[in-house]
Structure 1
């Protein structure tokens, strides 16, 4: 269960009061205390850094409320200041900058109600590069065959220790029932075939990880990472043609690691009625103008390393047919109206509503398939990512 960051405090309160209940209860927030929520991860990458500032929301709310109009600045102990400005709900640094070693960085926020928030000074942890990302075919503990993707790194000085990982996966999709012809409706009881666009045949999708993936190497004899970060079943269509994964490895300090571990434990508790009590979500940001004002979040200064790999389905499963998420069955329509066995009206409806696409026909007998099988743009994008390598 993935829970939005700014609902975790509400969840903790509900868990406390609901523990021991056995009746079904609507999860509504009867008491609500507003607080700002800060999501700030600044890295050693030279870029426009981003900080997200929202407000706590009730558990039943479906959208986030952005903290607008705040003055946001990051300062270091070398008298450098980096101003942030609001852009589409996120505060973005006006100029690119990177977090440098041996400097202390502090986040300052002043909201429109005059309250001032400040983080503790933070220093960039050790920079540790990813050495490799390795895919291999394995059988997991559930007896499923698939591709296990491991990330590897090593710090011989044993100064990294606390790691957080994110990944972004992209994959190529080829519509398995794409046709050179497209069926269009030309009248109440008439259709026509026109040339189909090749732009509907090949698509690309990208998804980011949502889990909080953590690792510490304190109990290991070496500060060495060999982490299974992603397992994909062999019948999963996302690896059916060509697949890519970008892995980011963050090295954090102990306080940041503990903060993210608590967040992970809360999000993974499975239910707000769980007896599991993950602990207090304590960050490094305080309201210095009013000690009674609460704030949730962590100003995370971290080093990051990233690496991307590609592989084809045939690289991992030679000679096997590519999987697809839809069975892609051929649906037969007799294009006539009013007679026995006629289903022209149904066919026209499915075409007009973009529910089905043309595959082939013999006279008035048409074979159609679900739109996802014949037109990948019905659920994905035909724009090739700039990083894509075929």
Structure 2
């Protein structure tokens, strides 16, 4: 959600400054208006809950400004208080806790400038667990791929509003790989020794072939969803979810070998669902100068001293459920050609390590080894070296060789 909040923040800055424009306008950010941005969802998971605080940033700035030095805590209607402490870019509860059914929770913030903010009271939503997550080979909008669906059911018919997040992890195998690598080594000058009839040896740089000392063939990449994914069963006769949370083309390299997705389902109340839907719709509205001008929209957090102050964000208390699945490409697409690799150009490049006219190109070869612009594949041990792009022969050039603790082959 962070990306959307900051996109909307920039959008609002422009909207404040340009209420209506029909002619081309060169924007000058002279009337910047700061606003507190709050991201806060606590759940029924027993854990250190987190809150994110930042300030709207100007268009010329590279990213959000974290709100430092704030006093953050959550209180409930039974007199309990849960204090948060600042950790890097977030505020984390000092002690683990979870939201309990029926209790009312309220977020309270005091900035280092002494400004106070408070949220509306929120109650934990209905706890509806994911029944299962499925992956099937399907054609969607004319494209063949893997449809990942979330299934759940609330017999009480009170959940109705859902938000989803996922984290996907996939195995990568470098297609043209060698257990060896090339490095440049320096041999110092050895003086002549006439007494022993040794003429001496000049300083020189040479190519050394050695075994790799770390895993570079098999890697794992992990990515989080960055879209606002919403679903509602409000128009259905029963609160039954069969929702397509993710579609992956069968030509996407991320499913070439083994793929895993961890899906989280948040049950929302109507106010939270409406807020996130508005946030999503504004982000896809087509730009700040489109006819669909948004204006400012408020969440459920307000300034105590100045209720009309603009505050961006929403504090929600949401029941969450999660599920992880794995699948292999060959399970869904048996006997089919694997998707194209991450790097499309894995052609082998041949170098002859000698000086002089072509075919000698030792200087280029050594430069590529020094800068790691190419990696070793093979040699005929007669000064000829076969080299490939790093992504083709060393997956750590763009991924990680650390096996995730949850991974199952």
Bin the TM-score by the shorter chain.
over 0.9
State the secondary structure of the residue aligned to 2:178.
coil
When the two chains are superposed, the root-mean-square deviation of aligned CA atoms in Å is 2.0
CA shift for structure 1 position 4: 4.5
Q: Can you list the C-alpha shifts for 1:217-263, whole angstroms capped at 9, x where unaligned?
A: 11122211111111111121111111000000000111101110111
Q: What is residue 377 of structure 1 aligned with on the other side?
A: 396
TM-score norm. by structure 2 comes to: 0.90
Q: What is residue 243 of structure 2 aligned with on the other side?
A: 227
State the secondary structure of the residue aligned to 1:200.
coil
CA shift for structure 1 position 132: 1.1
Q: Can you list the C-alpha shifts for 1:364-383, whole angstroms capped at 9, x where unaligned?
A: 33211100111111111111
User: Quick one: distance in 2 between partners of 1:28 and 1:184?
Assistant: 52
Q: Can you list the C-alpha shifts for 1:331-381, whole angstroms capped at 9, x where unaligned?
A: 122222222222211111111111211111222332111001111111111
- Alpha-carbon spacing, 1:272–1:335, altered in 2? closer, same or farther (3 Å): farther
Runs of 5+ consecutive residues of structure 1 not aligned to the other structure: none
Q: What is residue 157 of structure 1 aligned with on the other side?
A: 156
Q: Which moved more, 1:333-342 or 1:114-123?
A: 333-342
State the secondary structure of the residue aligned to 1:199.
coil
Would the aligned equivalents of 2:354 and 2:361 in 1 still touch at CA under 8 Å? yes
CA shift for structure 1 position 215: 0.9
State the secondary structure of the residue aligned to 1:112.
coil
Q: What is residue 121 of structure 1 aligned with on the other side?
A: 121
TM-score norm. by structure 1 comes to: 0.94
User: Quick one: distance in 1 between partners of 2:32 and 2:15?
Assistant: 15
Runs of 5+ consecutive residues of structure 2 not aligned to the other structure: 187-203
Residue 356 (structure 2) aligned to one of 321, 329, 338: 338
Residues 45-60 of structure 1 correspond to what in structure 2 (within 5 A)?
A: 45-60=45-60
Would the aligned equivalents of 2:377 and 2:387 in 1 still touch at CA under 8 Å? yes
Q: What is residue 75 of structure 2 aligned with on the other side?
A: 75
Would the aligned equivalents of 1:357 and 1:369 in 2 still touch at CA under 8 Å? yes
CA shift for structure 1 position 28: 5.2
Residues 77-156 of structure 1 correspond to what in structure 2 (within 5 A)?
A: 77-141=77-141, 143-156=142-155
- Alpha-carbon spacing, 1:152–1:12, altered in 2? closer, same or farther (3 Å): same
Aligned length, in residue pairs: 388
Would the aligned equivalents of 2:44 and 2:318 in 1 still touch at CA under 8 Å? yes
Q: Can you list the C-alpha shifts for 1:37-78, whole angstroms capped at 9, x where unaligned?
A: 110010000000000010111123212111111111100001
CA shift for structure 1 position 22: 5.8
CA shift for structure 1 position 291: 2.8
User: Quick one: distance in 1 between partners of 2:59 and 2:354?
Assistant: 53
User: Quick one: distance in 2 between partners of 1:153 and 1:61?
Assistant: 43
User: Quick one: distance in 2 between partners of 1:201 and 1:77?
Assistant: 55
Would the aligned equivalents of 1:27 and 1:59 in 2 still touch at CA under 8 Å? no
Q: What is residue 44 of structure 1 aligned with on the other side?
A: 44
Q: What is residue 348 of structure 1 aligned with on the other side?
A: 366
Residue 277 (structure 2) aligned to one of 229, 244, 261: 261
Q: Can you list the C-alpha shifts for 1:129-185, whole angstroms capped at 9, x where unaligned?
A: 1111111111221x2211111111111211001110000000111111110221112
Residues 175-186 of structure 1 correspond to what in structure 2 (within 5 A)?
A: 175-186=174-185
Question: Looking at CA atoms only, which structure, 1 or 2, has the larger radius of gyration?
Answer: 2
